Amino acid sequence: MTPRSALLAGDHHVHSTFSDDAVSTPAENLAAAQSAGLREVRMVDHVRVSTTYVPEFLATVRALPTVEGLTVLTGVEAKILDASGAVDAPPEVLAALGTPRGPDRVLLADHQVPGTDGPWSPRSTRQRIEAGLDAADVVEMLVTATIRAMHAVGRAQLAHPFSVLPKIGLTEDAVPDELLDALADAAVATGTPVEVNEKWHCPGPRVAGRLRAAGVLLVASTDAHEAADVGVYDWVHG
């Protein structure tokens, strides 16, 4: 097997059957990570404030057999709810981050736009823009909410940053350098890794390069929902 670069030796966003849209078990994902020659894999599943399965998920992952040379990390993926940076995860899970009772990190996701009054769907966001809302204000709200969420939870990872932009008719070009620099400053200050995500092809070279230059830790992820995709990178390059 060809040796992997440091970036591609990890897959920091892998879903299991604890997520309702994934098909592989944690054990199957572990076997796939080993087969792919990974050195790190982060087992992650979706949560909301009402989710109750996290203790069972963590117990299942921690009971997996040890694989020499492969570090297994844990996380939960939750969307940023609103412009204040509130996160859609159980409070007890957020309180236990980084302790023996909780996951290592919470993956902050922009599945929707964190609006002033709650999450805005892509469709409703497009309608607001068409009705006169400045797209620049939407971008600033997204970045500001993400920064607030990073500071609020303390142990985050940015999941597929800016994946919501194409859904609302924008690209990463709409994010000015000053907002990227503010995001980078927050990521460095809070020790927050930022994904380069295979599934959603984000962030692109400009954003990733600027974050890396500012000292942000970039990690590769497939966002795999089945074991066959774990550690398989075509778009992400080391």
String of DSSP letters for 45-106: EE--TT---HHHHHHHHHTSPP-TT-EEEEEEEEEB-STT--BSS-HHHHHTTTSTTS-SEE
Please tell me the predicted confidence (pLDDT) of residue 97.
98
Residue corresponding to tokens 């550690």:
231
Over residues 43-54, the mean pLDDT reads 98
Over residues 147-163, the mean pLDDT reads 98
Domains and CATH numbers, the chain: 10-22+46-217 (3.20.20)
CA pair distance 118, 81, nearest whole angstrom: 6
**Which two structure tokens, joined as six digits, stand for 180?**
């990227």
Residue 182 CB-density burial (10 A; 0-12 exposed, 13-18 middle, 19+ buried): middle
Please tell me the predicted confidence (pLDDT) of residue 223.
98
Please report which confidence band the pLDDT of residue 65 belongs to, taking 50, 70 and 90 as the band edges.
very high
